[in-house]
Structure 1
Amino acid sequence: MIKYEELSKELLVENNGQGMEIVHNEESFFFLVNIVEGSDKLIALSGGALDQKKKSPPVYMRSKWKDEIKYNSIYIDDRTIHGNNLKIGWGVGNRDRHFLKDYVVIIKKIADILGIKANNTMYYGSSMGGLMSVIMATMHKDSFAVIDNPQTNIFNYYQSYVDSLREKALDGMTVEEINRDFPERVSMIDAMLKYDNVPRIYYYQNNKCSFDMKYHYGPFKKQFEENGFDDGKVSYRLYSDAARGHSPQVKVKTLKIFDEIFSGI
């Protein structure tokens, strides 16, 4: 257990490649940080759905990639699903606290310790993690997001998962109450409006996933244009893969994407 205020290069090196419990404002959050000496870049990776019958949190999804990623990397466990058997939390936190805010504060401090600039900080995620990544990049000015088949608005996802989140994480709040009190937690567009920042986004979408195209990609693009945001901030990259559907691109392709995007900075 490490207090946020006590985070240091020495502690990061001591715990390199291992899970860490970091306490911020009296709440515990879990990260796995992998330091790559000589790298001035950082990727913060958010996970997807978790079957807690098979594995209990904290879980650092994609952390097996750490030895193949040539950049510093942080694997984020979503505190939202701790102790409630939720499969998906989207980082919304609880009624009183948005956990994505805590994640960004901690990630920014780690980046500062490692001497990494915001424009060299990438937030990556697919599905649930895609929404988390864009909202965090929106909070972390000058950073950017790389997303694959994301949810762009939680309420456009399957109702059973949304209902479980409302009941178990948000004390039974209604959709109307959530949209009134903190829409920026559930919608990429509303986060951009709330924080008055549109991050650079590299939006990969499988056009063979009809659900995503209809309920997430299409509505996001329409709302983005309606709000008059700078369309140069989003690079839409459609691909076709009927076999994978909603699943993100395979690891080898994703790692290549990381390299291509970082080489263009």
Structure 2
Amino acid sequence: MDEFLKQDELPSGPFSVLIDEIPVDFEYDDRGFDTTIVLLHPAISPKIEKLPMFIGRAITQNAPVNRLFVADPTLNIHGDLETGWFAGSSAQPNLQTHLNVIFRRMTAGKRTIYFGLSAGGFAALLFASLHPDSLAMPVNPQVQLADHSSPRVRKWTNVAWGMNNKLDSDTKAMPPVETDLLAVYEEPLKVRVVYIQNTGDRDHMKNHWSAFKAKARPQALAGVALVDAGEGHVAPSEAYLAEAINHVATADSWGRFNLKTLKSSPNRATVKSPPKDTPTQRDTSRYDSAGKSTYADMSDFLSQPLATGLSTFDYHGTPFDILVRKKENAKATIVVFHPAATGANITRPYFVGTSLTDKIDVNAVFLADPSLELDDNLRISWFAGNSKQQLQQDLPIIIRHVLDEVGSENHIFYGASAGGFAALYYSSLFPGSLAVPINPQTRISNYGQTFVDAYAKICWGIDETQESKTELPKVTTEDLTEHYQTPQKNSVLYVQNDTDWHVKKHMEPFLEKNNTRNHTMLVSGTWGNGHFPPPANYQEELLRAAVLCDGDWAQMAERHPDVKVVSIDPDRDGIPSLVCSCTRPEAGGANPYCVSHGTAKYRQDEEHSPIDEHSPKY
């Protein structure tokens, strides 16, 4: 604990803190938000074979929150326990106090939500009560362990604390820790509670919710959702919980919450679950009608005239696939990079957006990331290569060959998420081109740690989380915020959903470091809560406008009303000169990101007269 508290920087990814010489496991996902959610798990089921156990990844993936996952260490000490309510044991008698200190340290300066299911709900209520101005989101919680009828309570007191409560008796002596939240919430507390309870859980409705409502001070209850999630002690659907968390996290202030406005069904039986990720398989049969060409290797591909349809060549032991569609007399070409290959029944080669360019007078080149061929379970690799394939060196040569063969004059590099990272990187290697990244990652190591670790291990043989952050920059360009800190000769049309956690973690660091001489434009909007792209027709509008620019990308601000100019190079031909009126001392001068905050913009050729930010032209 002492060593942890002395650290100047918060740990990132998985970490452990020894409390009474016993490790407590955490995982911290800092996504750059002003709110942090602490996720506390319920009792483990027999299906759980490995500890530590963390919950809440899926339901918080698209919420604007940093995430602190916590595992109850009592389950590690005593293997036959299902739960310990994060309330400690005789080996860790002060666990509640120590966890409170850790939580306060990890969430300092942030709004804090404590979220938990069942036993985790008990813990959420407890730790929120110890943390002024925080908010608890318990789901089907226990609130008084002495009156909880489950044999798990007696088992916990006996096994974890060495007590002698009879398993067949209602009499339960309690250990010397906080087990009665009714007494806690009878006192005035500077805390808010959003209580979610399944009405089909009759035991918890009667013995916990009703008791809490009767005892707790009304000022503490910021919101109550009594929902039909099904019979028994079952939680509402993931979709409902995700929407509830997002509802709370996006609120400007934590006053009262009307959870009746949530649109998702709480009943799991009525919610269609999203398809689970399954291993990808290689299948090129769907491209039979488009025409398929095979080459011996990269040199063979580059030495021959380009064929339309699917081209495949051996790339240092795995297939490299390119899908080409050429339109007569088209001057522009869109190079498309795919995002993560998530979902069920994904086949390789993986291409996306194949219908997006059908109605646009443009050539289209679709690329499949060859790193996905290394392992059927690898989902994302950012077109950043691997130890056998130096893709960031080879792919520009391949793209140049394709662009020359189709007679392209104007080049547009397009991709979403991981594909947006690739679009930004490879466009920078083609002077005069345009990058159109959609919700991109701008630094690989700032993405979800599970995905980064999988990429680092499978593609580069990097095993440990902490190593991936230090070793990846040595083997591949993984930080585009640094890359674009130097002047680049391409243009960027950055498209970002403003409710996406990528705003804080990827867009803002990119725009803050972006060299002010780089021609950068921004399109932002609300297209769903979380990491969701704009609708396909909207993306098509942007791409059509880009094609009509005929290589003069500065026209985008005139051709599409949502395009804002962020920064611009005054020395480049055909591009008007803009300077920014906003300065920040900590930035050392002009702030290139001020346009997104609505500050005034000025044109030098209009004697610094203010430009109306709502003008369709600007």
TM-score (norm 1): 0.85
Q: CA deviation at 1:113?
A: 1.5
Which residue in 2 is equivalent to 1:259? 544
Q: Pairwise mapping of residues 98-117 of structure 1 onto structure 2 (< 5 A)?
A: 98-117=390-409
* Counterpart selection for 1:64 from 321, 334, 355: 355
Alpha-carbon distance in 1 for matches of 2:546, 2:380: 28
- Alpha carbons 1:206, 1:240 under 8 Å: kept: yes
* Counterpart selection for 1:35 from 303, 319, 326: 326
Q: Pairwise mapping of residues 1-265 of structure 1 onto structure 2 (< 5 A)?
A: 1-2=294-295, 3-8=300-305, 11-12=306-307, 16=308, 18-23=309-314, 28-51=319-342, 54-84=345-375, 85-117=377-409, 120-172=410-462, 174=467, 175-179=469-473, 181-182=474-475, 184=477, 186-192=478-484, 197-209=488-500, 211-224=501-514, 229-241=515-527, 243=528, 245-264=530-549, 265=552
> For 1:82, what is the secondary structure of its paired residue?
helix
- Alpha carbons 2:481, 2:513 under 8 Å: kept: yes
Q: CA deviation at 1:7?
A: 2.9
Counterpart residue type for residue 461 of structure 2: D
Alpha-carbon distance in 2 for matches of 1:157, 1:250: 23
- Alpha carbons 1:24, 1:102 under 8 Å: kept: no
- Alpha carbons 2:485, 2:513 under 8 Å: kept: no
- Alpha carbons 2:315, 2:389 under 8 Å: kept: no
1:131/1:80 CA distance change after superposition, 3 Å: same
CA RMSD of aligned residues (A): 2.2
Query: Can you list the C-alpha shifts for 1:18-41, whole angstroms capped at 9, x where unaligned?
Result: 321035678642110000011011
Alpha-carbon distance in 1 for matches of 2:519, 2:433: 12
Larger helix proportion of the pair = 1
> For 1:69, what is the secondary structure of its paired residue?
coil
Counterpart residue type for residue 44 of structure 1: V
> For 1:31, what is the secondary structure of its paired residue?
strand
Q: CA deviation at 1:190?
A: 3.5
Alpha-carbon distance in 1 for matches of 2:332, 2:322: 17
Between the two proteins, what is the percent identity of the paired residues? Answer: 21
Alpha-carbon distance in 2 for matches of 1:95, 1:35: 33
> For 1:256, what is the secondary structure of its paired residue?
helix
Alpha-carbon distance in 2 for matches of 1:7, 1:203: 35
- Alpha carbons 1:34, 1:66 under 8 Å: kept: no
- Alpha carbons 1:21, 1:29 under 8 Å: kept: yes
The answer to which of 64-73 and 42-51 deviates more is: 64-73
1:234/1:78 CA distance change after superposition, 3 Å: same
The alignment of Structure 1 onto Structure 2 pairs a total of residues equal to 248
> For 1:139, what is the secondary structure of its paired residue?
coil
The answer to which of 48-57 and 106-115 deviates more is: 48-57
- Alpha carbons 1:80, 1:99 under 8 Å: kept: no
Counterpart residue type for residue 458 of structure 2: K
Structure showing greater relative contact order (alpha-carbon pairs closer than 8 Å, 6 or more residues apart): 1
Alpha-carbon distance in 1 for matches of 2:325, 2:314: 19
Q: CA deviation at 1:182?
A: 3.6
> For 1:64, what is the secondary structure of its paired residue?
coil
Q: CA deviation at 1:6?
A: 2.9
- Alpha carbons 1:101, 1:139 under 8 Å: kept: no
1:198/1:158 CA distance change after superposition, 3 Å: farther
1:79/1:41 CA distance change after superposition, 3 Å: same
Give the greater-gyration-radius structure (CA): 2
> For 2:460, what is the secondary structure of its paired residue?
coil
Q: CA deviation at 1:66?
A: 4.5
> For 1:63, what is the secondary structure of its paired residue?
coil
TM-score (norm 2): 0.38
Alpha-carbon distance in 1 for matches of 2:485, 2:508: 19
Alpha-carbon distance in 2 for matches of 1:128, 1:177: 19
1:81/1:7 CA distance change after superposition, 3 Å: same
Which residue in 1 is equivalent to 2:207? none
